[in-house]
Structure 1
Amino acid sequence: MCLILLSWQQVPDRPMIIAANRDEFYSRPSLAANFWPDHPQILAGRDLEYGGSWLGISRNGRFAAVTNLREVEHSGEHSRGDLVKHFLLSENSTPAYLKELEAEKDIYRPFNFIGFDGHRLGYSNNSATGWQLLPPGCHAIGNIPLNNTNGKTAKGKTDMDAAVSTDANHLALLAMLQDKSPNGQHQDAFHHALSCRFVSIADFNYGTRSSSVVSRHQNGHWDFWEQRYNTNPADPNFLKINALNHFQL
């Protein structure tokens, strides 16, 4: 997952709204969002290489997501997707989970992690020590630490703020995630493509695989939409909309 835009306690009837794009190699095997047969309390997409996820919710009201950290020295060998799985299966509060994670950050590949236990929303990464509970507002988590900003996260935050102020529905948020405009000036084509909200780098077999819009309502119910894209470069419908799935908890 390379961009997470999150509105926290800005909309009274939807205290949490997430709009996120997952960027990954097209060839990496994964499953669309669904309830997991081995852990039926989890609703999430699944990475078939390591068994974790990039974004998901659980029947006990938890949410978690990760992005990778670019240009950060390689850390451990454990998949960052395990953080999502472990948090969704955990019964620990967000602060308790993040305190425990602090001691083993180095075993994971570079990550940004965000987790919600039903009450508190927290953030951590393994490029620095410490963790934090996030204040109300709009937050943009890309492939840099949360306290840093680049053109992609700044524009994403502005657009997400504008969307939630007009009570945008899931279709409007999905359309926002499909923006292919570059953010900033870049000397090479690779970083130019990465600066776009919807990423497509055919030469590297890499880009946006899916978009997710997740809303938690004031009554504790969740709506989860996942828009997948055709990522077979040999298909004439390459990168066109493949499927839109909707779940409710």
Structure 2
Amino acid sequence: MCLAAVALNAHPDFPFICVANRDEFHNRPTAPLHVWNSTMVAGKDLQSGGAWLGVGTNSEFALLTNVRNSALNMPATAPTRGELVVNSIATGKGPSKENALGYAGFNLIHGNLNSLVFSCTSNQGLKLQNDLPFTVSLNQGIHSLSNGHFGAPWPKTRKLEAGLKSQLETPNTQAITIKELESALFDLLANTSLAADDQLPSTGVPYEWEKMLSAVKIVSPLYGTRSSAVVLLDHNNTVHFTEITFNPAGNESGQQRFEIPLPPKL
């Protein structure tokens, strides 16, 4: 996952909303959104076996973004960051500080869809030995995240967050159907406009890549947005999880949709 925004209690009909794009090399083998052993709905990285975004039948949720910083890289023998999503959904907990040091740089948004208690955990501060917090609690409202630290004002995160805020504040949003809202949210994820040069972050990649990566949806023959996802939790405690997959030309190649009834709230 490379870009996501979540909304907690920001809409009267949907207490939880997530919109997210997964960017990856097109030749990396991937399974689309599906049910894992009756316990989780997620896509799967077939190269390393992990996931980037998932919803558990136990009401747990997690999404992962990699951190674009070569100082946080690890050897190929290190565990895949995708297992952090699987583990946090299975256990209802994020990684410990000791465990987090074994992974390349990551941000992990995780929490429970019944309690709506969510956090963002990152190992950046631990590995770089700076003052970035290990875990940040997510308050009510809209939060966006990309491949920097939580709260980093990258152009694409600001654009997605502003678009989601505008959509949720539109008066007729409360009257439209789930599919109409999903369509509007997928439109936000389809923005291919590039950031101005003076707004680009400096992450150590060449200028051409920095420019290309500044789009909400990346279209490139080698690397790009492989899938977009919308997750909606309604007041009947049902999760509506839809994923659209794309080919290297950026055209839709498939769509998967799941409705996940969650356990009753305690």
Whole-Å separation in 2 of the counterparts to 1:189 and 1:155: 20
Whole-Å separation in 1 of the counterparts to 2:99 and 2:252: 39
Shift of 1:211: 0.2
Mapped contact 1:75–1:107 kept (Cα < 8 A): no
**Which sections of structure 2, spanning at least 5 residues, go unmatched?**
127-133, 174-179, 201-205, 261-266
> Structure 1 residue 12 and structure 2 residue 51: aligned?
no
Whole-Å separation in 1 of the counterparts to 2:136 and 2:5: 17
User: Which amino acid counterpart does residue 28 of structure 2 have in structure 1?
Assistant: R
Shift of 1:220: 1.7
1:80 maps to what in 2?
81
Show CA shifts across 1:65-90 (max 9, x none): 00110025135422110011111111
When the two structures are aligned, how many residues end up with a matched partner?
A: 233
Secondary structure (helix, strand or coil) at the match of 1:243 reads: strand
2:97 corresponds to which of 91, 102, 115: 102
2:112 maps to what in 1?
117
Whole-Å separation in 2 of the counterparts to 1:58 and 1:137: 23
1:196 corresponds to which of 192, 195, 215: 215
1:242 maps to what in 2?
253
Shift of 1:147: 2.7
Secondary structure (helix, strand or coil) at the match of 2:167 reads: helix
2:231 maps to what in 1?
214
2:241 corresponds to which of 224, 233, 236: 224
Mapped contact 1:7–1:164 kept (Cα < 8 A): no
Whole-Å separation in 1 of the counterparts to 2:70 and 2:40: 30
Mapped contact 1:113–1:125 kept (Cα < 8 A): yes
Mapped contact 2:6–2:17 kept (Cα < 8 A): yes
1:70 maps to what in 2?
68
Whole-Å separation in 1 of the counterparts to 2:230 and 2:14: 12
> Structure 1 residue 150 and structure 2 residue 142: aligned?
no
Task: State TM-score, norm by structure 1.
Answer: 0.89
User: Which amino acid counterpart does residue 246 of structure 1 have in structure 2?
Assistant: R
Show CA shifts across 1:134-167 (max 9, x none): 0011111000011321211111111111112223
Shift of 1:184: 2.5
> Which segment drifts farther, 41-50 or 186-195?
186-195
Task: State TM-score, norm by structure 2.
Answer: 0.83
Mapped contact 2:145–2:151 kept (Cα < 8 A): no
1:174 maps to what in 2?
186
Over the residues paired in the alignment, what is the CA RMSD in angstroms?
A: 1.6
1:58 maps to what in 2?
56
Whole-Å separation in 2 of the counterparts to 1:106 and 1:72: 15
Q: Give every structure 1 segment of 4 or more consecutive aligned residues whose post-TM-superposition deviation is greater than 3 Å.
A: none
Show CA shifts across 1:168-211 (max 9, x none): 70011111101100123159322111000011233xx1000000
Whole-Å separation in 1 of the counterparts to 2:211 and 2:73: 26
1:235 maps to what in 2?
none
- Determine what percentage of the aligned residue pairs are the same residue: 29
User: Which amino acid counterpart does residue 184 of structure 1 have in structure 2?
Assistant: A
User: Which amino acid counterpart does residue 46 of structure 1 have in structure 2?
Assistant: K
Shift of 1:217: 1.4
